[in-house]
Amino acid sequence: MAESLDGKVVAITGAAGGIGLSCARACIEAGATVILIDRAEEELATACAELGAGAIPLTVDLLDNGSIDRMMPAILERAGRLDVFHANAGSYIGGDLVDGHPDAFDRMLQLNINAVYRSVHSVLPHMIGRKTGDIVITTSVAGYEHIPWEPVYSASKHAVLTLAYTLRRQLIKHGIRVGSIAPGPVITGLLKDWPKENLEKAKANGSLIEPSEVAEALLFMLTRPRNVTIRDIVILPASQDI
């Protein structure tokens, strides 16, 4: 029998828009209280006003280690506990390595890798103490493939996919499930950094998916009976030939 999210507390990073906002909306509609985490304070306030009483905004800059350190105490102050942590925030840089700026790549790697492991690390003592919980990491189909037009991004997603796989095996003994959601191209603000020719091609042939489709996958993962772990879900547009 499926588990219920009714009464659960879910925290989602990168929740002011895109995949994170769609996931927050789906969890609230399923009965959860959701802590929406983002550094975009105005967008976060707007999103929470739209979502209603089940949405709690929390401004965190995931590029600031001190801000991450304050995240979990703030979650507990606002909600008292945490049942689900969805490490969703990330950024994208594509194109040839030679044309990119190393500082921009460093910033992306800090958000896509370091912020993920640091934020997950911050919630683990609470979940281990309760002997239950769910951690979901938004990875990417780029974590399964070696995509030539996005080498550094692809490398970052291989890294967090490995983190999800290994962490899952460490946390089994604590009753904590760990899984990853790996979307193909999703219609979000990250696509503005796609190479123009790839974006136009994807739009023309229907090779993009909606954030709501990722949210449906998250709900499926979280509502499986506790004796079942969905290790990973890869979500692709039907026309994508990867």
The CATH code for residues 9-233 is 3.40.50.720
**Sheet containing 232-235: which strands, arranged edge to edge?**
55-59, 33-38, 9-13, 84-87, 133-138, 176-183, 232-235
Q: Output the CA–CA distances (angstroms, integers) from residue 14 to 26, 166, 178, 181, 204, in the order listed.
A: 15, 23, 19, 15, 28
Query: What is the pLDDT, as a whole number, of residue 52?
Result: 95
* Strand, coil or helix: 194: coil
pLDDT of 199 > 80? The answer is no
Cα 78 → chain centroid: 21
Domain boundaries, the chain: 9-233
Token look-up 């905004």 returns 57
Cα 220 → chain centroid: 15
Helix axes 115-130, 65-79, angle to 10 degrees: 30
Strands 33-38 and 55-59: what pairing? parallel
Tell me: the pLDDT tens digits for 206-221?
A: 678 889 999 999 999 9
Tell me: the pLDDT tens digits for 56-84?
A: 999 999 999 999 999 999 999 999 999 99
- End-to-end alpha carbon distance in the chain: 34
Mean pLDDT of 169-176: 98
* Strand, coil or helix: 198: helix
Alpha helices in 114-195 (DSSP H): 115-130, 151-171
Helix (H) or strand (E) holding 84: strand 84-87
Give the Cβ contact number of residue 206 at 10 Å. Answer: 11
pLDDT of 193 > 90? The answer is no
Mean pLDDT of 136-165: 95
Cα 123 → chain centroid: 15
Tell me: the pLDDT tens digits for 92-117?
A: 999 999 999 999 999 999 999 999 99
pTM of the model as a whole? 0.92
Catalytic residues: 153
Amino acid at 161: L
Amino acid at 3: E
Beta-sheet strands, E only, within the chain: 9-13, 33-38, 55-59, 84-87, 133-138, 176-183, 232-235
